Amino acid sequence: MAVKGSTKGMPILGYIACCLERDLNSSNVRPAVARYLTAGGRHVMTAPGYGNEQAIGQGIRDSGIPREEIWVTTALDPHGVPADNIREWAAAQIDSSLQRLNVDYADDIYLHWGVAVTRQNRPELANVTEEMNLELYRGLLDAQTAGKIRHIGVGLHTQRELEYLINSTGVMPEIMYAWITPFMPEKQIAYAMWARSQGMALFGWGPFNWQRLDEPAELEAHRSITNELADKYNTTPLRIILRWYLDLGIAMATSMLKPSWLEEDLNCLRTPLTAEDRARLESVKWGCHKTDQIQPLPGCMDA
């Protein structure tokens, strides 16, 4: 997948060591990463808050795959950010991540948690202001200049917040991480497409988070469609959603702890959905207010 400024491109289907306890456990993560890489996968994603960066690095070494062939992603998390000397604090956080991963550079580090989303969904981060967030972004730019990061991403930022970062620094992030599924409100999809129109590559996450919604009728409609298509393509409902991402050119990652999951996830690259089947997946949409049960959507918050 093309990323601005990248010669090797970001692999479109990756492994993420998040977010259930089994997926965070380092004793599970290390062998899973090695299996994923030796099977042909090349994109490994984590974050400091997941507590398994060291296991990720160990899995990379265990695989024997050359570092330059692997796309390594982690995050700059605002938890604990001080009111002053923010860029220096960010530099220390980035150095710590690289040390735990045992790599000289990250292919991508993304700035996690925009201000509007955290104020609604992460009260422990209510002290983080837009100016502090801007300094964190500048800290990422410093690390990129120093050669410690190849590309910069953002996650859970509204369009207005992104425009503030871009206008204040003159630098657009190269990748946007967003919760995207076929069932998303149109405003969230439009927000993601706006980011793409600005030149950002899209990375989607949470393909099955919609199952946490307390909306029995809509859940049944979603399950009915994905199950029917899974039967048609002789696969699982999750891989139908994965294929939807890939057909639209949206990169994403899943947890591939079991060898059978790994093989099935990688095999979903082989069979595209028809246009009619993609339309069926997109035929049942949530309202913005319903997604707040799980997490506020930046696209809806700009409305």
What is the pTM (predicted TM-score) of this model?
0.89
Q: Is residue 258, in this structure, part of any structural domain at all?
A: yes
97 Rama class: left (phi>0) / alpha (psi -120 to 50) / beta: alpha
Q: Is residue 2, in this structure, part of any structural domain at all?
A: no
| pLDDT tens figures, 33-78 | 998 899 888 999 999 988 999 999 999 999 999 999 999 999 999 9
**Residue range of the domain that includes 265:** 13-301
Q: Quick one: which of 107, 103, 98, 76 has its CA closest to 11?
A: 107
Q: Is residue 181, in this structure, part of any structural domain at all?
A: yes
d(CA 3, CA 240): 25
CB crowding 215-245: b at 16 or more within 10 Å, else e = eeebbeebeebbeebbeebebbbbbbbbbbb
Q: Answer yes or no: is pLDDT of 201 > 90.
A: yes
Would you give the DSSP letter of residue 44?
A: E
Q: What band does 99 get if pLDDT is binned at 50, 70 and 90?
A: very high
Q: Residue 181's beta-bridge partner residues?
A: none
Specify the pLDDT at position 178.
Answer: 85
Domains in the chain: how many in total?
1
Q: Is residue 7, in this structure, part of any structural domain at all?
A: no
Q: Is residue 167, in this structure, part of any structural domain at all?
A: yes
Q: Answer yes or no: is pLDDT of 157 > 50.
A: yes
Q: What band does 223 get if pLDDT is binned at 50, 70 and 90?
A: confident
Q: Answer yes or no: is pLDDT of 258 > 70.
A: no
On whether the CB atoms of residues 139 and 90 are closer than 8 A, the answer is yes
Q: Is residue 6, in this structure, part of any structural domain at all?
A: no
Q: Is residue 114, in this structure, part of any structural domain at all?
A: yes
Question: What CATH number has the domain bearing residue 143?
Answer: 3.20.20.100
Q: What band does 213 get if pLDDT is binned at 50, 70 and 90?
A: low
Q: Is residue 279, in this structure, part of any structural domain at all?
A: yes
Decide which of 105 and 32 is more confident: 105
